[in-house]
Amino acid sequence: MQYSFVFILVILFIGCNHKSKENQSPSSQISIKDAPQLPSSNLEIIEAIPLETTSENLMGAWLRIRSSNSQLFVMDEESKQKSIHVFDKSGTYSGKMAEEGDGPEKIPSLNDFYVNTNGELEILSTIGNKSTIYQFGETGEKTLVLEMDYVASSFTKLPNGDYLLYGSYNLPVTKYRIIKVTPSGEITDRYLPNEYSGELLPMTERNFLQTGGKHYFIESFNNRAYRFHNDSLATAFEVDFGSYAIPNSFWEMNIMESFAMLNEKGFANLVGLFESNEITTLECMFQGPFGTYKQLIFVNHPDKSISKIKVSEEDTPVFYHPIGMDQDDNILFLTYHQALLDFLKKSGQSPGFQLPQQEFDYPIIISTTLTP
């Protein structure tokens, strides 16, 4: 089976004044242009976890993966009927825990999910102007946790049990792009005010990233990554995309003209952030008449050095989808069996692991080390 790694640009009607009232604490300034370029051969594959695949859990390329102490939870972002597939840490398939659809055990929509350390799954389901959070226990029983009038597309859970919900650039429906709420539905704080009253088409993206014991936030067409800490949202990283930065005129033009301009000149987005004890990995996507590729930016904590590796779906598909980092500073990627076989043959690498034969081409989580 051939999988297409496609970046879907969803037309977004957003504000012409992109300012907010977040805490302006010192942040790491990163210049894409100035970062030394490393070859992709500096990423060495050291381990692979194949995800058991049957006709019941066939998935595409854009997978959202989160984990508990003993399990992996996977959502296919492009599926017409989303569900959460559960695997153990060795990749053995356990079944579905939540699924979109009608019926008492299903949920109306599946926008995002969060996994507690004890394996309990929490699901964000947004229909119309109402957002609902459900909890699924280990045996699959569903409990309503929170219901409120806010159009959220993603969420995360804080250590004290409160939630952060993201509503995107959708004024007047959402006056603030992020709100903090208690499990009872009380709004206790608001962040990133909206300043535009245009229309918005829904989009699916990773906004909240819990990594390295910290809570980060990113959003489309914003070159900043924020950290939420002590009830404050502060800029943690700011990326200078150079000539591919979103120009100020973008926010002032007719929306169709502005996107035509971006596609003609090319633009960049910050689409991922992953952190370990000593390394932060920033996933930056570039799109334009040249096609689509990514620059993976690596920030070394001890010496503050910065480097980058360019990856593309055509040339290096095994490194195109970073999904996290582990405690040993290894970078985790999602790929597929056939793509990994092709890469190993082309690169001449001799893996220290074996890959099983399955009926279907199947996803694999690979662990890599970064050499200077």
Q: How many residues are recorded in the chain?
A: 372
**How confident is residue 119, by pLDDT bands cut at 50, 70 and 90?**
confident
Q: What stretch of H or E contains 179?
A: strand 176-181
| Residue 80: pLDDT band with limits 50, 70, 90 | confident
**Residue 29, domain member (yes or no):** no
Residue ranges of E strands in 212-348: 214-217, 224-229, 232-240, 267-275, 279-288, 291-300, 306-311, 322-325, 331-336
The domain tally of the chain equals 1
Q: Please state, rounded to an integer, the average pLDDT across all residues of the chain.
A: 88
**What are 228-271's pLDDT values in tens digits?**
999 999 999 999 999 999 988 877 776 678 788 888 999 999 99
Does residue 340 lie within any of the structural domains?
A: no
Domain assignment present for 191? yes
For residue 69, tell me if it sits in a domain.
yes
Q: Which residue has the higher pLDDT, 146 or 3?
A: 146
Measured CA to CA in angstroms, residue 70 lies from 66, 116, 159, 329 at distances of: 11, 11, 19, 20
Given a cut of 90, whether residue 352 has pLDDT beyond it is no
**How confident is the model over 44-76, as pLDDT tens digits?**
999 999 999 999 899 988 899 999 989 999 999
User: Is residue 352 included in any domain, yes or no?
Assistant: no
Q: Tell me, yes or no, whether 262 lies in a domain.
A: yes
Q: Looking at per-residue confidence, does 175 or 49 come out higher? A: 49
Contacts of 303 (CB under 8 A, 6+ apart): none
Task: Name the band, by pLDDT with cuts 50, 70 and 90, for residue 209.
Answer: very high
Enclosing domain of residue 114: 61-306
Q: What's the whole-number mean pLDDT along residues 322-343?
A: 95
- Number of Cβ within a 10 Å radius of residue 286: 20
Burial class (CB within 10 angstroms; exposed 0-12, middle 13-18, buried 19+) of 193: middle
Residue 54 belongs to some domain of the structure: no
- The pTM is what? 0.89
CATH number at residue 191: 2.40.128.630
Residue 1 maps to a domain: no
pLDDT at 196: 59
**Please, which residues have CB within 8 angstroms of residue 240's CB and are 6 or more apart in sequence?**
29, 30, 31, 32, 33, 223
Portion of the chain with pLDDT greater than 70, in percent: 90
pLDDT at 83 over 90: yes
